[in-house]
Each structure stands twice: as structure tokens, then as C-alpha cells.
Amino acid sequence: MAIIGRIRKHSALLVILIGVALAGFVLQDLFRKSGGGNKSQLFAKIAGEKVSKIDFDKKVDEQVAAYKQQSKKENLTSAENFQIMTSTWDQMLKDQIMQKEYEAVGLAIDHEKATKASISPEELYDLMMGKRENLHPFIVQNFADPNTGAVDVQKIQSIVQNFDNMKDEEKQQWKRLEQGIKDDRINTKYNSLITHGYYMPKVFLQRAADESSKVAKLLSIGVKYQTISDSIIKVSDDDMKKFYEEHKNEYQQENARDLDYVVFEVLPSQDDLTKIAQDVQRIYTDYQKLETKDVDNFMKLNSDAPYDSNFYKKGGLPVKLDSILFASPVGTIIPPFVENNSYSIARLVQIQERPDSIKVSQLLVAYKDAPNPLQNITRTKEQAKKTIDSLFAFVKADPKIFAAVAQQRSDFPSAKKDGGLIGWIGDGDANNKFFFDSTFNAKVGDVKIVQSSMGYHILFVSDKKELQKKLKVAIIKHDIKPSSETFNQYLAKASEFAGTNRTAEQFNKTIKDKGLNKRQAQFVKEMDYTIPGLESARDIIRWAFDAKTEKGMISEQVFDENGKYVVACLVEKRDKGVATLEQVKTYIEPLVKREKKAEQLIAKVKTASATTKDIYLLAQKLNTTVDTVDQLTFATSNYPKYGPEPELIGTIFTLKNNVISDPIKGKMAIYQVLISGITAPATPTSVDMVKMQLLGTFRSRVYGNPNYRQESEVFKAIKDITDITDNRINYY
């Protein structure tokens, strides 16, 4: 069971292994709510294969269940469910696209009629239970000893051998780990094929090594574009169009929308604040009269936060409470105070001397009718009681034999391996609270019997930390929030705004006249979940992508986004492909002005150059300075004092010595350069080093970097040419 516990502990990783990034999204009923789109239409199609919404929802449900299990949550947030749906789609997309690629290169071998690319049973065994150097990283991450790094392969073999006796959730965890290893192995083989196909001719390698070894020494002058004010540069429509046509392929875009919106954030009114203060005072008065035994129920009825029944040592409580309560008797109540937009009332419930952690072992005798019975247990409760009493007398007489007895007689699945050792349990450990609370008063060496939902346990305390004073404090939280009447008032205000401003012009004028705060969201994608200032904005995004929503439209409905009322205006519709000139005008106008400045400055530099070939006199005429650059290499990315200038640096290494150059157009300025010499260092760059660097760069493009959410360029290239129909926006 300890091994299964470790799998459970790392189950987030196991889910990641199959590529599903589980971290955030919408309740399943939200997935299926109505809104936008024809539900009878095609849900999705990938590379000619239709995707059924029923099948997709099944995959999502599996991942939701896995995430709930590993995070120990009964319910997920809207954001969590939505993220799970999104990452499930991403993984399904990758699986279906890459499966065809695997088949094309001969990696999709039919092992026992496998339905997808797979590896042989022998190879899988080697990756999971073979020699240490052959073990897959996922196995090492999950089963290596954190201190020694050694992997106990026998533990893995034990899981495989006892697979049929495992619980269903544990079987699913193991299957996900196994499938994750298979998928990663196939993907590694595919990427390896591509990487090994990267060929670098020796002559090119030698040239790259020679170029990276060259060092230039030079003088240069630069006349910056900023010496000419933007205000005096006039740009015509023809100038803009000409530049756009020459560079239009640089402005590829995805399907996206630009939005302006006004958020009516609901805040408590003065009446709300008065009533809240009165309610808190009433609660405080009742709390003072309350008996300690009734605190739990009182908290359930009056607190907006659950009762934290843990014990805290000095320094563990909020600063405002810590010093006061540690010097106070049980029953002390701290009057209401405001913190983090909530009233708090604290009551000291209990003081105990408790250790920070206890080292505990257990021996379990289960019975078949227990509330949470183990599988294959046939003994009755009465039989279990007789057995536990007999074993207790045995180990109490000599606690040193506890581990040996637990290995032989405990029903806990991991006991045969770990001798019943639970290990160090921290005070407040939710997973082992039962065992800590059952033993914190025990002495080192004590043995005792307790009963749980699984059966009877013998607990043995082998070590414990020193006792220290700890407090249990019941803190009532009463949130400062608007009343329903206040919400209705804000809704009426937002509805009036939406109803009276039906054009973009009216929308913007009213915002300005009333001093409202207009927010903007650009390049919003159809499967985004948030926009600036709104943690949940799916309804707004779906409205923006609805076929009936035209540019300049104002939303008729007022969107309710987690207590914030929103009215939106669709500012721009961006279709996938090359952006229109109108859409990129604001971005290219500075570039067009820079081109015009370059023409003027080049003419100015040429005029000055015609009168002198002395770079210092030239600098005076152009009102600039001469810069000395002693060591400029071909691989340098930033030109000293100016910044990124790849064209300039590349041009420098083509120039003749001791001849002042023609004007060179850069990104920051117009330059003239006088090279005094280009030399090679005493130790030239190694060809092997260059080869290694180039191969490393290529490998990073092939494999990507999941840690930085960097997608493999191979997969991205394949995805870009794959015919994909994605209608999820009509459902989620």
C-alpha cells in the first residue's frame, strides 16, 4: 500500500505523462449548458476523422476524475474544469495527428492488436523493471529513493503481480503511468529519427567555425532615427500600402477578436456595511455566551469559512492573534476586526502540549462489515477483535518484534514490505490525522489499540518530537459583501448602459462623459477563458465569436461574470491568415516613418561623406560621436551602445580594411564604419563545438521544452498543415 500511496502522491505527474495538463476549469454541467451555435453540427474533425462529442466528453470525464482523485477535491472550479477540457483536447489532437506520422515511418507496430503506436512487451519491461540505466525517467521519478537515488524494482514487480487485487482507482493510476511511458517512448523514437536526419556538411561547419572565430576592430558613427521628430514625418496611404505589400507575410495571425468593455463591479452599499456590522455584533454577543461544546455547530451556522480545528504553535496563527492568544486562557474571545475584506472573531478553544511530529507504525486487522472494508476480507468483527487482542498482548510484551509481526499478520497491503511503518506524521497532516490524534499523548515505545473505518489497528510509537504549547482557535469569518438589493441596483445600472448605447460611438462617448473605466482585450482567442480583470469570461468570448456579432456591435445582454456585470463592444474581428492593412496600420506606421527617416539620414550622411573621408570630421558634421569597438564577433547579437543590429554586424564582416563604408541602414540608426582589422584568436572555435551547438539548437526545436510550454516545432509544423475543424466554442 505504501507504493500505491506514492503513486497517489505523484498522480499529478502521472496525468501529465499522457500529456494532460490538469490544472483548472469549469463544472461539467457548465460544459453542457446551452448558448451559441447549433448543437446538431459537427463537433470536431481531425485529419479527416470525425470526433464525437460523446467520446470527447468521456475522455474529459476520465481526466476530471483523475484530477479530483490526485487533488483530493470533491468539486472543481469552473476554471479547473475548463482547463482539463482544453488540455484533453490538446492531447487528443496530438495523439490523432502523430499516430498517422508514426504509421508513416513504421513506428506503429501491431503489438497484440494495439490500436495505436506502441512498443513491444520486452521493451516496456526493460523501461519499467530492467537495469537502472534503462529505466524510464517516469519510473525513476516515482520510485527512486530520494536519498540514494536507487530504484527498488521489486516494488514495481509486486505491483504488477498484485494488479488484480488493486482497487479500481489504483489500477487506473498504474495504467496511466504505463501508457505515459509507451507514448513518451514512441515520441522519443520519432524525434530521434528526425534529429539523426540533421546533416551538417563539413565545409559549412568549418565556415561557421571560422566566422565565429573572427574578431573585428573598428571605429563607427551612428546617426539615430530619433534625431528626427516623428511629427515632421508625413506618411501617405500609398506609403502604408507599399510597406504592407512588401511585408504582409510577416503579419500572419490566428482567429481572434479585440474587445472593449465596461465592468460594473458590485461593491457593498453603506446600508450593506451597516447591516453587516450589526450582524457581526450579534454573532459576537452570542459567541461570548456560547459553551465550548457548541462551538463547532455555531461555526457551521455563522461562519463563511470552515472551522480549522488544527492546533498551531507560536508563530503559526495570524499576527493579530498570535501574541494575544498565547498569553490568554481558554475561552478568550478577540472582538471583531476587519482583515482581507472580512470580519473575524477568534475564540481560544483549547490549549495542549503537542509534538510537531510522531513516528508511528500500525498493524491492521480488518473485518468484512467495516465501513470501509478491504477486499477479500472474510472475518467478522468479533473474530477481528479476538485477533487484535491476541496480537496486542504479544507485541506489548516486546515492541521490538512489532515490524516482524506486522509483516506476517497485518492486513494492510504494504505491511509485508514496510513492516507497518507509516513514518513521521506531522501535526495537522490531513491524510494521517486519525493516526496522529490517536498517538500524540502516547510515550515513545507505547502500543495501543484503536478502531477505524477499516478495522482494528495496533499503533506503535517509535519516536516523537518534543512537546510544545499549541492552541486550537475557532475563527468566525463574516465576509463584507454586497446584498442582493445592491446587486440588483448595479444590474439595473449596467442594463441601462447597454440599452442606451447601441453603437461604438455612443459606447465610447458615454464612457468618457460619465468617467467610466474602459478596459481592452486584444487578440482574444476563441478558447480563451479569461480576459484582463475577469477571471471567467467565457460568455463574453462566445458572444464575440458568434457569427451574428459584427464589428462595432454592443452586447445586448449584460454579462454576469462572478459578481461583476459587464457590457462589451466588439472592436475588431481578426480572421486566420494575413492581417488586413487596417488591422496592422498602428503597428507599421512607426516602421514606415523609420524608412522615411532612413532615406533622409542616408542622404545627409552621403552629403557629409562627400566632403571628407576622416571619420572624426564626419562625426562632427553629423553632430554625433565616434565609437571604438575593439572586439566584435560575428556571433554578437547586440551592437555596443545601440542594441540588436544583425544586418549591421553581418555587413561589417564583408567590408574592406581602412576604407570608410557607405551608409548602412540599421534598426536604430544609419551607420558608417571604418574597419582597422579582422583577426582570428589564438585559439579558434572548435568545429566539433560548433557542430554540437547547432545540433543542440536543432534538437530543442524538435523536442520543444514542456517546462517553458515550448511546443515542438515538428508537431507545430505538422499541425499547421493538418485539416482541423474545431467547434468546441459552440459547447463550452
DSSP string, 127-162: HHHS-GGGS-HHHHHHHB-TTT--B-HHHHHHHHHT
How many Å separate Cα 50 from the centre of its chain?
29
Range in 38-47, 278-287, 694-703 with the lowest mean pLDDT: 38-47
pLDDT in tens, 366-411: 999 999 888 889 999 999 999 999 999 999 999 999 999 999 999 9
Distances in whole angstroms, Cα of residue 384 to Cα of each of 394, 404, 626: 15, 19, 93
For β-strands 467-479 and 518-524, DSSP reports them as: unpaired
Q: What is the 3-state secondary structure (H, E, C) of 407-470?
A: HHHCCCCCHHHHCCEEEEEECCCHHHHHHHHHHCCCCCCCEEEEECCCEEEEEEEEEECCEEEE
Instruction: Kindly tell me if the per-residue pLDDT of 26 is higher than 90.
Output: no
Contact 693, 699 (CB under 8 A): no
- pLDDT category at 7 given cuts 50, 70, 90 is very low
Looking up cell 455547530 gives: 297
- What is the rounded distance in angstroms from the CA atom of residue 680 to the CA atom of residue 685? 9
Looking up cell 507505547 gives: 446
- Predicted local confidence at residue 636, as pLDDT: 87
- Predicted local confidence at residue 116, as pLDDT: 57
Which of 640, 673, 671, 642 has its CA nearest to residue 659? 673
Instruction: Kindly tell me if the per-residue pLDDT of 210 is higher than 70.
Output: yes
- Predicted local confidence at residue 581, as pLDDT: 95
- Predicted local confidence at residue 172, as pLDDT: 83
Q: What's the mean pLDDT in 34-43?
A: 58
The CA-based angle 391-395-398, given to 5 degrees, is 155
Q: What's the mean pLDDT in 273-294?
A: 96
pLDDT in tens, 161-191: 888 877 777 888 888 888 889 888 999 999 9
- Predicted local confidence at residue 709, as pLDDT: 64
Q: What's the mean pLDDT in 42-71?
A: 92
Looking up cell 507560536 gives: 314
Tell me the average pLDDT of the chain.
89
- Predicted local confidence at residue 117, as pLDDT: 56
Please count the CA atoms within 13 angstroms of the CA of 284 that sit on its side-chain side. 17
Q: What's the mean pLDDT in 305-320?
A: 92
- What is the rounded distance in angstroms from the CA atom of residue 714 to the CA atom of residue 192? 12
Burial class (CB within 10 angstroms; exposed 0-12, middle 13-18, buried 19+) of 77:
middle
Strands (E) across 184-313 are located at: 215-224, 252-253, 256-265, 311-313
- pLDDT category at 708 given cuts 50, 70, 90 is low
pLDDT in tens, 525-556: 999 999 999 999 999 999 999 999 999 999 99
pLDDT in tens, 402-456: 999 999 999 998 898 889 999 999 998 888 899 999 999 999 999 999 999 999 9
Instruction: Kindly tell me if the per-residue pLDDT of 50 is higher than 60.
Output: yes
pLDDT in tens, 107-154: 865 544 445 556 888 898 899 988 888 899 999 888 888 778 888 888
Q: What's the mean pLDDT in 589-613?
A: 95
- Predicted local confidence at residue 20, as pLDDT: 34
CB atoms within 10 A of CB 205: 15
- Predicted local confidence at residue 18, as pLDDT: 33
Question: Which phi-psi region, left, alpha or beta, contains residue 6 (left: φ > 0; alpha: ψ -120 to 50)?
Answer: alpha
Instruction: Kindly tell me if the per-residue pLDDT of 30 is higher than 50.
Output: no
